[in-house]
Amino acid sequence: MKKFYSLLFLMFLLNACDMNKQENLLVGHWVEIMPVNKQIVQGINLNADGTASSIGMETLKYKSWEQKDKQLILHGMSIGNGQTIDFTDTLDIIELTPYVMKLEKFRKYQVDYYRVDKNPNIQDLNDLPNLLQKFEGCGELQTRVFEGTLPAASNPGIVYNITLYSYKNSGDGIFKAKLTYLEAQQGKDVSFDFAGRQYTLKGSAEDKNATILQFVPFNNKEETMNFLSQGNKLIMLDKDMKEIQSKLNYTLTEKE
């Protein structure tokens, strides 16, 4: 009988240790891998003291979290239509590693997150690499810069400066862009910056084997840009994913 109770106690300790490991893994900053609207960076901050906060979700404010068995329970406020409603969301933990957290609700839908090193701030362009998915075997972080002056309808041209951040073994990444409109305002140049996610697509309207880099801005005000990737050059495509038929230059060149 003593052996039986000792075995039960040991099983209880092992289960408690496993629960503690899960709680430790849950603590951190988590960003959705493929949100419904991929123009938005969104996710959850789970703090060690049990508090929580939202990433990129103005109408869904997380306040606290807890872990019971294999479930993550989130408490917060839903804001909309002139009213604020407290809510509790219970999600099943399907997978949890140092890099990935997969949650499921009622077996109807699944949300996949990846861990980032610190709370991402898409307003800070210097913080962009922190939004990248980091996984085992992803390789080193690489930075590539492309630049060129492309035609414009009402001024001498637009200088594009696009910086790409990605891990070596990942086709997708983050970009920041600086566009300078030459002599656009009373003879003076006008520049503005924006950022977003970079996706690698296979095939264009003219070549099924082409490699396309697609730039989707975080800000919905900016348009998605598509470029044909050819070594150290990016060639701008039109909205139909075709090369622009013109004698003018639509090519950006990678800086060494």
What pLDDT is stored for residue 131 in this prediction?
Answer: 73
pLDDT (tens digit, 9 = 90+) per residue, 45-90?
A: 999 999 999 887 777 899 999 999 899 999 999 987 668 899 999 9
Give backbone dihedrals phi and psi of 2, rounded to 5 degrees, phi first: -60, -40
- Tell me: pLDDT of 22 over 70: no
Structural domains of the chain in order of their starting residue, each with its CATH number: 2-116 (2.40.128.280), 132-254 (2.40.128.640)
| DSSP summary character for residue 69 | T
Q: Which pLDDT belongs to residue 233?
A: 97
pTM over 0.95: no
Mean pLDDT score of the chain: 84
End-to-end distance of the chain based on CA atoms, in angstroms?
74
pLDDT value of residue 37: 53
> pLDDT band at 234, cuts 50/70/90?
very high
Q: What is the pLDDT of residue 19?
A: 44
pLDDT at 123: 65
pLDDT given for residue 35 in this prediction: 59
Tell me: the pLDDT tens digits for 123-139? 677 777 777 767 778 88
Which H or E element spans position 176? strand 173-185
The closest alpha carbon to 39, from 176, 165, 222, 197, belongs to 197
Check pLDDT > 70 for residue 33.
Answer: no
* Percent above pLDDT 70 for the chain: 84
